[in-house]
Chains A and B, each alone.
Chain A
Amino acid sequence: MGVTFNVENLCYKYPSAKEDTIKGITFDVHEGEIFGLLGPSGAGKSTTQKILIKLLEDYRGSISYFGNDLKSMGNSFYEEIGVGFEVPVHFSKLTALENMKFFSGFYKKTADIQELMERVGLWEYRDVKVGEYSKGMKVRLNFVRAMLNNPRVLFLDEVTNGLDPRNARIIKEIIAEYRSKGGTVFLTTHLMNDVEQLCDRVAFCINGRLIEISSPRDLKLKYGKREVKVEYRENATIASAVFPLDGIGFNDEFHKLLKSGKIETIHSGETSMEEIFIIVTGVDLK
């Protein structure tokens, strides 16, 4: 598996800012993985993405893209990447199809617009002006726009923000399919649901610094409690008991409870990504 992006000691300062927004971050994005950059608003996630997609260029440190210095890449770089912005990015007086045809016209290789729009449920609204679209429809159209050129690397910023659960699931299924075909995804989000369901690795970003980089599974093992919580009926009320996970096969009390037939729920002490984020960074995501 190759390295899509190698980022070394990246720093960035906006011209009007007094101090660096990105303060020396280092990470790799591997080919064929979904890499999540998590953090609250203003943490530096979007700035990092803007640097990786060459919208911000006066950075310090080094970034290589498949072994090539990112700064040396020309416009052909944009043939290879797809960018899904958080905010709508379409001409409101043009129909959805007119928008997609306009943008796809600049790429050498393009995806099937109809297939993409059908997958996200927009094909039947293709001749409606984007200005008449709902927020959720615009978010889905943003995703289609990002996929127009069959990108090798996909950048997604808060990709399911504003979507209902059904459409969010469709988008996540397409992203997972894209990854299974070898595509690389750089995902910036504060939605932990997306992270848990999609990301192979995540990095926590706070105040322009990366606090921890790991896989969601490893983080859960590291920060989760090794215990089992059982809720059961007792005298018409719900009681609960917590058992250590280690040696649970030999825990007589636990076995007795299992056999009692009074159990309502059993949960492992696995911690959610949101809780892990708060533990690691000390910052609430909301």
Chain B
Amino acid sequence: MSNLRKLIAGELKRMVKYKILPVSLVTSIIWIVLLLFLSEEEARATAPLLIFTDVAVMSVLLIGASHHLEKQEGTMRTMMVLPVSQGQILAAKTIASMTLAVESAVITSAAMFFIHGVTFNYVLLFLFVVIAGATHAAIGFILSLVSRDFTSMLGLLMGYIVIFTAPSVLFHFGVINEKYEWLLMISPSHSASNLITSAVSGEYRIAMTAAGCLYLMLLTAGLFKYAVYPGFKGNAVRG
């Protein structure tokens, strides 16, 4: 087994042992219960928001929780003296965080089908969840690297949500006028929300969807290359 696969397996095992995966499943069950009480039309409008919440917020929370817990336990240091690259460590953590996002999307999609008989393009949804998940994992790393502990990281996340996520939710409920949507696409949260909504609703605006994909992929690459990768080792060593 390659080192990357071993690292991913380790991350997933710890997600179970540290009760992160079970808690995520409980959250998904709450979503299912919520969908049970909604009409098909309401469910179609709400499902993207539920998936987006897991992708955008839960990914960041998972990265932050595991980062600060591992620093507290000292395991980050000992990982840095394993014969694996820093890139492999970051990739494993990112993939593990995306697993939660995918798990949420799968459960929500299944609930939509079994409760309301609604189907949508699952391949595109998976692709968009992965892209948005990777972006938010990078954001999670940055918030973790600049915060002292998990509590201060939560404070930064709140700030991020107010600036980037709240406008997207307001747009979703029609509070922000549609003519500002291109401007809103600067927000990673809105780009992610736009992609997920389009996959669930089946209503694609090609230019905006393509721009959203491209923007999130470039943003992810830029954040990892210029912010996460250079700061990760020093942060891990400081303990």
- A85 to B6: give the CA distance in the assembly, Å: 23
Which residues of B, 183-239, contact A by the 8 Å Cβ criterion? 233-234, 237, 239
A56 partner residues in chain B, CB cutoff 8 A: 237
Partner of A75, one of B10, B17, B83: B83
Among B70-78, B100-108, B125-133, B159-167, the one that faces the other chain is B70-78
A223 CB, nearest partner CB in chain B, Å: 36
Number of interface residues of A (CB under 8 A): 29
Also in contact, A88 and B73, with CB within 8 A (given A15-B234, A50-B237, A93-B18): yes
Q: Is the CB of B77 within 8 A of A94?
A: no
B233 partner residues in chain A, CB cutoff 8 A: 55
A106 partner residues in chain B, CB cutoff 8 A: 3, 6, 82-84
Chain B interface category by residue count:
20 to 34
Q: Is the CB of B73 within 8 A of A90?
A: yes
B170 CB within 8 Å of chain A: no
Which residues of B, 65-101, contact A by the 8 Å Cβ criterion? 73-75, 77-78, 80-85
Partner of A89, one of B3, B6, B73, B234: B73
B237 partner residues in chain A, CB cutoff 8 A: 50, 55-56
Q: Is the CB of A107 within 8 A of B83?
A: yes
B82 partner residues in chain A, CB cutoff 8 A: 78, 103, 106
A145 partner residues in chain B, CB cutoff 8 A: 78
A53 partner residues in chain B, CB cutoff 8 A: 81
Also in contact, A89 and B74, with CB within 8 A (given A55-B233, A105-B6): yes
Q: Is the CB of B14 within 8 A of A75?
A: no
Q: Is the CB of B84 within 8 A of A91?
A: no
A241 CB, nearest partner CB in chain B, Å: 53
A70 CB within 8 Å of chain B: no
- A106 to B2: give the CA distance in the assembly, Å: 9
- A56 to B216: give the CA distance in the assembly, Å: 32
Which residues of A, 56-81, contact B by the 8 Å Cβ criterion? 56, 75-79, 81
Q: Is the CB of B81 within 8 A of A55?
A: yes
A87 CB within 8 Å of chain B: yes
B84 partner residues in chain A, CB cutoff 8 A: 75, 106
B77 partner residues in chain A, CB cutoff 8 A: 55, 85, 89
A15 partner residues in chain B, CB cutoff 8 A: 234
B181 CB, nearest partner CB in chain A, Å: 41
22 interchain pairs, CB-CB under 8 A: A15-B234, A50-B237, A55-B77, A55-B81, A55-B233, A55-B237, A56-B237, A78-B83, A85-B78, A88-B73, A88-B74, A89-B74, A89-B78, A90-B75, A91-B14, A94-B14, A94-B17, A102-B6, A102-B13, A105-B6, A106-B6, A107-B83
